[in-house]
Amino acid sequence: RDQSAETVGTSRSVTKVFKSHTNFIMMVLKDSQQGMAFFKKHKILVLDCSSSLPNSIRVSIGNEQQNKKLIAKIEELGFEIK
């Protein structure tokens, strides 16, 4: 979880990552709607939290394989959101 959060925080599309002691990572994106669509397209479970904090989403994390997929897609997302 900690490694995933650190890696996610280096993406150009992510402006903030919140520390978590749970099975999800909450982050603020440059464009949360585009990010939501991107993650759903790649079958990554996300929750729009923009009603509480603008442009924020919550991404569920799981096993090592799922976390690797999340990190790869976050890096890909950085190139799609400019």
Which pLDDT value is given to residue 65?
86
* Half-sphere exposure at residue 45, Cβ-oriented, CA atoms within 13 angstroms: 8
Work out the pLDDT band at 74, boundaries 50, 70, 90.
Answer: confident
* Residue pLDDT, tens place only, 17-72: 887 777 888 889 888 888 889 888 888 889 999 999 999 999 887 788 887 887 78
Does the reported pTM lie above 0.85? no
**Residue 44 contacts residue 59 (beta carbons within 8 Å):** yes
Query: Phi, psi at residue 7, to the nearest 5°?
Result: -65, -45
Q: So what's the pLDDT on residue 54?
A: 95
pLDDT at 10: 55
